[in-house]
Amino acid sequence: MVSTKNKIGDIENSQIEEIHQTNIEKQENNLTINNFQMSCANDRFMQMAMSHSLFPYFTVDIAKMNDGKYRLMSKPTRKESIVKYPLNFKGSFTILDERYKDIKDKQKMMDIIQFSDTPIEVKLNKFEQYLGNVLDPYPNPELSPMQEGVKSYIMPSKREVPKIKWNVDICFHDSKFKLSSIQLKLVKQLSSNTFLFNNYHQSLKPVFLELKLEITDKYVNCNLNYKINETKINDCKTVLTFNKFVLNLLTKSYYMYEKNEKKTIMSGESKKNISQEEIDSLQHYINIVERILEIEKYFNKTFNVPNEISKDDVMNINELYRFIMASKKKEKGVNVFITISKKDMDLEKVQSLINMPKTSLMSISENVIFNILGIDIKIKKIIIKYYDVKCSNAKEVNKFIKNIETFDDTDTLKIIMIPTKGKYVYKITEIIK
């Protein structure tokens, strides 16, 4: 970099299509002062040739450039010349690269640049050709095409990244949720003390993590970034896992447990401020996605889950989810309410119902369709049954029937059914797909 030796070709000029590295060490320059005729002109040429500050290892020569012009340049006289005085370059530059514009500490900037894996845009302030430690008095411009005052690029030396991989579970205090078997792999060294880990190679994981570690003698600074796996961005299970991770990360402290070493290697908490309203909204979204996942499993469907779910979808999801949960086990309650409006009332059936010492109730809905996230879920029948019940408010029902003419058509009657034995009424739901 600045004031250091570089091989030719380490620095590439932005205005030149190709740069061919010149291997100085393999040049053979045998200086034989070819039968100089001792004329005055030749004598002046000899004086000029031997006037080189590094004579007898170098002489001053005249060479024709690629542009057809002639100029003076240093010429080695023997193989030992370039061994004793190897060609190298020194220079200074201003960094123009936007990635480094906010770094004010020059030493820190130079440290970071050394570990860059991409070209760095610079403006050359000074560029000099040296023979050993001596400034070349007659540099050959075609050995290095760099020009002072122009934009160019520095290509840092490629460095081997140490093979370090952590197999961690990311856990949260006071939470059952965790991200399991996250393989954080060292992918880049950003400076002499800053390292970048990620698990991007785990293409099936729902969450991609990037861990930046700055390690000094006094502290270890950790910066954890995360994003959803974009190849699975609408997958229900991926969306659920990602949002659960975000909720836990924003509300609880975390720790990384290294499974191979069997120890906690890191812990911390999010510094992002989040309101209770935002937390409640995220929790509500997670609840809805959990129900979508249950519907997927039950009906063998796949939904594309958006970031925002409409109110109509939420209503349909909740209703269908309740039917599914009810179909998996008996539900118990202390009574059953039947509400009937005057205009829909069949008096004979009502009287028969309230006079029975024991009966069963059944509700059947046929050809039911739930539209969820643009997909129709079609159900042949939803059957709801209550066994062994009886009316507990027969007097109120009879009073309503006796005075029925005094009520409007929209007035309703509530019939309460209770278990004939035991404390509970049991509800059984059956879904026929």
Write the pLDDT tens digit of every residue in 387-419.
999 999 999 999 999 999 999 999 999 999 999
pLDDT computed for residue 45 by the predictor: 63
Each residue's pLDDT tens digit, 111-138: 666 666 667 777 777 778 899 899 899 8
Identify the weakest region by mean pLDDT among 7-16, 41-50, 112-121. 7-16
Mean pLDDT of the chain: 84
Q: For residue 226, what are the domain limits?
A: 165-268
pLDDT computed for residue 5 by the predictor: 41
pLDDT computed for residue 386 by the predictor: 94
List phi, psi (to 5°) of 337: -100, 135
Each residue's pLDDT tens digit, 296-314: 999 999 999 999 999 999 9
In a domain, 194, yes or no: yes
* Between 125 and 330, residue with greater pLDDT: 330
Identify the weakest region by mean pLDDT among 103-107, 181-185, 218-222, 372-376. 103-107
Q: Taking 60 as the threshold, does the pLDDT of residue 162 lie above it?
A: yes
In a domain, 105, yes or no: yes
Identify the weakest region by mean pLDDT among 85-94, 129-138, 294-303, 372-381. 85-94
Which of 154, 188, 213 terminates a domain? The answer is 154
pLDDT computed for residue 153 by the predictor: 65
Same domain (yes/no): 146, 173: no
Same domain (yes/no): 198, 142: no
pLDDT computed for residue 12 by the predictor: 42
pLDDT computed for residue 44 by the predictor: 67
Each residue's pLDDT tens digit, 202-243: 999 999 999 999 888 887 888 899 999 999 998 999 999 999
Same domain (yes/no): 344, 415: yes
Same domain (yes/no): 249, 373: no
pLDDT computed for residue 107 by the predictor: 67
Same domain (yes/no): 73, 30: yes
pLDDT computed for residue 333 by the predictor: 92
Rounded Cα gap, residues 195 and 222, in angstroms: 10
- Tally the domains of the chain: 3
pLDDT computed for residue 427 by the predictor: 94
In a domain, 6, yes or no: no
Which of 248, 268, 288 terminates a domain? The answer is 268
Which of 105, 128, 154 terminates a domain? The answer is 154
Same domain (yes/no): 231, 100: no
Q: Taking 60 as the threshold, does the pLDDT of residue 430 lie above it?
A: yes
In a domain, 20, yes or no: yes
List phi, psi (to 5°) of 212: -110, 120
* Between 76 and 143, residue with greater pLDDT: 76
pLDDT computed for residue 63 by the predictor: 83
Arithmetic mean of pLDDT, 373-398 = 94
* Tokens coding 349: 């059936």
Same domain (yes/no): 21, 139: yes
Same domain (yes/no): 219, 254: yes
Same domain (yes/no): 36, 122: yes
In a domain, 2, yes or no: no
Same domain (yes/no): 130, 180: no
Same domain (yes/no): 44, 150: yes
Q: How confident is the model at residue 72 (pLDDT cuts 50, 70, 90)?
A: confident
In a domain, 283, yes or no: no
In a domain, 139, yes or no: yes
Each residue's pLDDT tens digit, 333-367: 999 999 999 999 999 999 999 999 999 999 999 99
pLDDT computed for residue 32 by the predictor: 39
Same domain (yes/no): 142, 193: no
Closest to 286 (Cα-Cα) out of 257, 247, 252: 247
In a domain, 314, yes or no: no
Closest to 9 (Cα-Cα) out of 82, 87, 69: 87
